[in-house]
Amino acid sequence: MTNINNRKMYIFLLILTIASTVGLQGWRTLMNNFAVEVAGLNGGQFGFVGSIRELPGFFSLFVVYFLLIFKEHHLAALSVMITGVGVALAGFMPSYAGIAFTTLLMSFGFHYYETMNQSLTLQYFGYSEAPLVMGRMRSMAAATNITIGVAIFLASGFMGYSSMFLAAGGIAFVAGLGCCFMDPSSTEIPIQHKKMILRPKYWLFYALTFLAGARRQIFVAFAVFLLVKKFDYSVQQVTMLFVFNNIINYFLNPIIAKSVNKLGERKILSIEYGFLVIIFLAYAFTDSPIIGGLLYILDNILYNCAIAIKTFFQKIADKPDIAPSMAVGFTINHIAAVFIPALGGIAWMQDYKIVFIGAAVMSAASFILAQFIDRELKLKALNND
The pLDDT assigned to 47 comes to: 66
With cut-offs at 50, 70 and 90, classify the pLDDT of residue 3: low
The pLDDT assigned to 256 comes to: 94
- Calculate mean pLDDT across residues 268-285: 96
Non-local CB neighbours of 307 within 8 Å, separated by 6+ positions: 131, 134, 135, 138, 256, 257, 260
Q: Give yes or no for residue 269 having a pLDDT over 70.
A: yes
The whole-angstrom separation of Cα 226 and Cα 105 is 30
The whole-angstrom separation of Cα 239 and Cα 241 is 5
Among 56, 59, 345, 107, which Cα is nearest to 218's?
345
What DSSP character marks residue 102? H
- Calculate mean pLDDT across residues 106-114: 95
The pLDDT assigned to 372 comes to: 97
The pLDDT assigned to 115 comes to: 93
* H helices present in 231-321, as ranges: 235-263, 265-285, 289-303, 307-316
- Calculate mean pLDDT across residues 344-367: 91
At residue 336, what is the residue type?
A: A
Give the phi and the psi of residue 50 in degrees, each rounded to 5: -65, -40
Mean pLDDT of the chain: 89
3-state DSSP assignment of residue 288? coil
> Count of CB atoms within 10 A of residue 40's CB?
11
pLDDT by residue (tens digit) across 96-109?
Answer: 999 999 999 999 99
pLDDT by residue (tens digit) across 160-195?
Answer: 899 999 999 999 999 999 999 999 988 888 888 777
The pLDDT assigned to 385 comes to: 59
Question: Residues of the chain with pLDDT > 90: what percent?
Answer: 57
Question: Domains plus CATH for the chain?
Answer: 1-186 (1.20.1250.20), 190-385 (1.20.1250.20)
Q: Give yes or no for residue 1 having a pLDDT over 70.
A: no
Q: N- to C-terminal Cα distance for the chain?
A: 28
C-alpha 296, offset from chain centre:
17
Q: Give yes or no for residue 342 having a pLDDT over 80.
A: no
State the Rg of the chain over Cα: 20
- Calculate mean pLDDT across residues 23-28: 91
Q: What angle do CA 38, 42, 47 make, to 5 degrees?
A: 110
The pLDDT assigned to 114 comes to: 94
Q: Give yes or no for residue 5 having a pLDDT over 60.
A: no
Lowest mean pLDDT among 143-157, 186-200, 241-255: 186-200
Q: What angle do CA 219, 110, 103 make, to 5 degrees?
A: 80
The pLDDT assigned to 289 comes to: 92
Any idea of the CA torsion for 215, 368, 306, 309, to the nearest 10 degrees? -130
Range with top average pLDDT, 43-52, 79-88, 336-345, 374-383:
79-88
With cut-offs at 50, 70 and 90, classify the pLDDT of residue 2: low
The pLDDT assigned to 120 comes to: 94
Between 88 and 336, whose confidence is greater?
88
Q: Give yes or no for residue 367 having a pLDDT over 90.
A: yes
The pLDDT assigned to 305 comes to: 94
Length, in residues, of the chain:
385
Q: Give yes or no for residue 10 having a pLDDT over 90.
A: yes
Q: Give yes or no for residue 229 having a pLDDT over 60.
A: yes
The pLDDT assigned to 68 comes to: 87
The whole-angstrom separation of Cα 302 and Cα 289 is 20
